[in-house]
Amino acid sequence: MDFGPFLLLALMEGLVTAAVLALTAVGLALVFGVMRVVNVAHGEFFMLGAVAAWFVTTWIPGPPAVGFIAALVLCPLLVASVAALADTLVLKRLNYDPDATIVATIGLLYILQQAALSLYGPDARPVEAPFTLRVQFPWFGYSGYKLAVIVAAALLLAGVWLLLARTKIGLVMRATQIDRETARAFGINVDRVYAGVFALGAGLAAVAAVLIVPIQQAHYLMGHDPLLLSFIVVIIGGLGSLRGTLVAALLIGLSDGVISVFFSPTLAKILATLFVALVLVFRPQGLMGRRAA
Q: Where are the domains of the chain?
A: 21-223
Segment 50-58 mean pLDDT: 94
3-state secondary structure at position 249: helix
Work out whether the CA dihedral 262, 268, 270, 273 comes out positive or negative. positive
What mean pLDDT value characterizes the chain?
Answer: 88
Percent of the chain having pLDDT more than 90?
A: 49
Is pLDDT of 91 > 90? Answer: yes
Confidence tier at 132 by pLDDT (50, 70, 90): confident
> Does the pLDDT of residue 211 top 50, yes or no?
yes
| 169 secondary structure, DSSP code | H
Q: Residue 293's pLDDT is what?
A: 45
Predicted confidence (pLDDT) at residue 290 exceeds the cutoff of 70: no
Q: How confident is the model at residue 256 (pLDDT cuts 50, 70, 90)?
A: confident
Q: What's the rounded Cα separation, in Å, for the pair 108 and 142?
A: 39
Residue closest to 91 by CA, chosen among 205, 202, 171: 202
- The DSSP result for 37-89, as a single string, is ---TTHHHHHHHHHHHHHHHHHHS-S-HHHHHHHHHHHHHHHHHHHHHHHIII
The overall longest dimension of the chain from CA atoms, in Å, is 65
Query: Cβ neighbours of residue 32 under 8 Å, at least 6 residues apart?
Result: 38, 39, 234, 239, 240
User: What are φ and ψ of residue 135, in 5° steps?
Assistant: -90, 125
Strand spans (E) along the chain = 134-136, 141-143
Per-residue model confidence (pLDDT) at position 4: 67
Question: Which is more confidently placed, 77 or 3?
Answer: 77
- Give the Cα separation of 112 and 88 in Å (integer): 16
pLDDT at 61 (0 to 100): 85
pLDDT of amino acid 40: 94
Residue among 198, 272, 191 at smallest CA distance from 232: 272
Percent of the chain with pLDDT over 70: 97
Of 166-170, 196-200, 251-255, which has the strongest mean pLDDT? 196-200
> Binning pLDDT at 50, 70 and 90, where does residue 86 land?
very high
Give the residue from 170, 202, 215, 186 showing the smallest Cα distance to 15: 215
pLDDT at 220 over 60: yes
